[in-house]
Amino acid sequence: MAIVHDRVVLQGNADAVEFCPRSPLLAAATYTLLQEPQPRRLGSITLFQVHQQQAEDQRPSLRQLHRVETSGVFDIKWRPGSGDGAVPACLAQAGSDGSIGLYCLDDGGTDNGMTLKEAQTKPASSCMCLSLEWDPFPINSSHSRIVISHSDGSLSTVRLDQGSLELDQTWQAHDFELWTTTFDFWKPSVVYSGADDCHFCVWDLREDLQMPVYRNRRAHRMGVCCVQSNPLCEHVLVTGSYDETIRLWDSRMLQNPVLEAELGLGGGVWKVKWHPKNGKLLLAACMHNGFAILHANSLEVKVLEEYKGHKSLAYGADWYRGKSKNRVEMKDHQEQTHLGCQSEAEVVSRDILSPSLVATCSFYDSALHLWEPRTCLDH
């Protein structure tokens, strides 16, 4: 059973949570549709500090630092940043008004701590922005790239160049709502996408974008909601779908990725996140069936633990990405090597905050939970 540390109620329907990659900060986003004569989509982004008490018997807690009112938010992502601080933390927002918003961290000279300062907003489409992802390897603090999916089935790339957002290219990728897109962590010129047309696609940004490098129409029986490239294991890719199934792929041949394993999770798989320090662990938001911690290898995907603490649609989920201390060896090293993981994945980091700390949110009850799965300590 999971160890629950804190629970918070947000002001709005909660749909996305993201830990800052370089500090114990957490952003949570909401989307609320107001049914009026002229429907309005409202949202917010709330910044929390993950606070650890000094006493050993005190659990981590969430302390609200700042809240930004905005259009309805479908997705938020922190820029990966760099270990030397040359690429500072920056949060991107996919807005229901078709815009991309950028927020930077600012101490504001106040005693309350960090705030989110709006840096720029750029119209990206006349349709809603549904998901986004940063290029995993920004050139520097002035040059980054974002891929965005839209409700009309199109994809866009936007460049952050010398502090200014510029629309790079847009193409029609799917026939219906394009729920998810991401870069391949190992090949940033490659983009993945999944949509309500049940198609999973692979795109090469160096090629003609009239056609994908690969399109799968059969593996998913319903809309494709999420896709994630494994940042620790090259060639490993995971997709999730409304058909309640998660699928593990080997992308060694982009023209024909191999479906290696799949598992039914009893609820539409809306979000998946690889553990930042263990390339075998997955966190999944399963909509009507809560959240699950999964163990994935080249032969199978299995459930290690479930979290049913939420009372509404399980939407947002993320792992804590804190700085590491006191390395300890991982178990099953041979299996990790078989997956092709890089050497950094051979350790699990111990921190003041647990490396397996999880934040999740659910939609209609506006709930944000901070918890820790017990099983991760053994894998």
Given a cut of 50, the residues of the chain with pLDDT beneath it are 324-351
Q: In the prediction, which pLDDT does 35 show?
A: 87
- The CA distance from 121 to 103, in Å, is 9
Q: Are 193 and 208 in contact (CB under 8 A)?
A: no
Q: In the prediction, which pLDDT does 141 show?
A: 59
- The CA distance from 347 to 27, in Å, is 27
- The CA distance from 300 to 306, in Å, is 18
Q: How far are the Cα atoms of 158, 163, 227, 315 from residue 286, in angstroms, in the given order?
A: 30, 37, 14, 7
Q: Are 149 and 174 in contact (CB under 8 A)?
A: no
Helix (H) or strand (E) holding 262: strand 258-264
- Phi-psi category of 198—alpha, beta or left, where left has phi over 0 and alpha has psi -120 to 50? left
Q: In the prediction, which pLDDT does 192 show?
A: 98
Residues facing residue 105 across a β-bridge: 116
Q: Which residue type is seen at 163?
A: G
Q: How many domains does the chain have?
A: 1
Q: Which domain holds residue 331?
A: 3-378
Q: Dump pLDDT digits (tens) for 119-144.
A: 999 999 999 999 999 998 876 656 78
Q: In the prediction, which pLDDT does 84 show?
A: 62
The CATH number for 245's domain is: 2.130.10.10
Q: In the prediction, which pLDDT does 254 show?
A: 80
Residue indicated by tokens 């199978």: 300
Q: In the prediction, which pLDDT does 83 show?
A: 58
Q: Which ranges of the chain would DSSP assign to H, the alpha helix?
A: 333-338
pTM value?
A: 0.89
**C-alpha angle 50/134/123, rounded to 5°?**
105
- Burial label for 256, CB within 10 Å (0-12, 13-18, 19+), is exposed
